[in-house]
Every structure is written in structure tokens, then in C-alpha cells.
Amino acid sequence: MPTLAGVQTLSVNGAAFAVAETASYNIGGKTRENIAGGGKGSVGFSQKGRAAFIEVEVFLGEGQKSSDLDVHAGEIKLECADRTIILSPGSYVGDLNVDASKNSLTARFEGSSAREVS
């Protein structure tokens, strides 16, 4: 799960949000686990799917509400200094609890796949 630095903005269905300087993401795909063979070493592996995600701390600006992040099957773009991560379709997962001291929340969006654009 890469952690990015130099994060600039998060766009949710075209609406831009200010974000913390770091975020994490995964482009999805499969994960493999070794199957040990009772003293014979590896006898193969098992695979399972892994959801693509983007997770970042979002700071709500003037007129923005936490419910603005509550999307289902939307386009999520995380723009960074050296790349853009696009999750489409992506849906908000978790709760929308805002930390009132910073007017922010940790937003997590998941979908079936994401891609990196340089």
C-alpha cells in the first residue's frame, strides 16, 4: 500500500477538496498467499481479490459539507506532485464523522480498480 507525499487536491465528481500532504492508495488486483505442503515446502498458492482504494484526510472549506464526499460509483481523483490516482467508479466507505478541531475527516473511497497517470 503506497503512501504518497506531495498530495495537492482530491476531486470527487469534479468538486475539489483541500487535503493533507500525505495519502495512501492501492490500485486493486489480487493478493497471493503461499500454501505450505506439510514439510514439502510450497505446494502452491491461493489468490483473492483486493479492493482498490484512496484514503486521505480532507479539510472542509467554506460551504463544503461532509455529505459532499458521500458518493456512490463516482469519479475520485487524487492529484499529487508526480502522479494522479483515478478511482472510477469509487464509493465512500466508513462514517462521515468530522473532527471539529480541524474541520476535517479521513475519507476512504473504494472501488474495483484504480489507475495511476503520470
Write out the residue range of the structural domain in which residue 12 sits: 3-117
- Which of helix, strand or coil describes residue 113? coil
CATH number of domain containing 56: 2.40.30.200
Q: Is the pLDDT of residue 86 over 90?
A: yes
CA distances from 90 to 37, 47, 48 (A): 39, 23, 20
Q: How far is CA 49 from CA 30, 33, 37, 73, in A?
A: 5, 12, 23, 19
74: exposed, middle or buried (Cβ count in 10 Å: 0-12, 13-18, 19+):
buried
What pLDDT is attached to residue 13? Answer: 96
Could you check whether the bond before residue 2 is cis, i.e. omega within 30 degrees of 0? no
Task: Give tens-digit pLDDT for 55-80.
Answer: 999 999 999 999 999 999 999 999 99
Number of Cβ atoms within 10 Å of the Cβ of 73? 10
Extract the C-alpha cell encoding 58. Answer: 480532507
**pLDDT tens string 9-53:** 999 999 999 999 999 999 988 888 888 887 778 888 888 888 999
**What is the tens place of the pLDDT at every residue in 88-113?**
999 999 999 999 999 999 999 999 88
Residue 102 has what pLDDT?
Answer: 92
Please tell me the total count of domains within the chain. Answer: 1
Q: How confident is the model at residue 1 (pLDDT cuts 50, 70, 90)?
A: low
Q: What is the DSSP letter of 41?
A: -
pLDDT of residue 114: 94
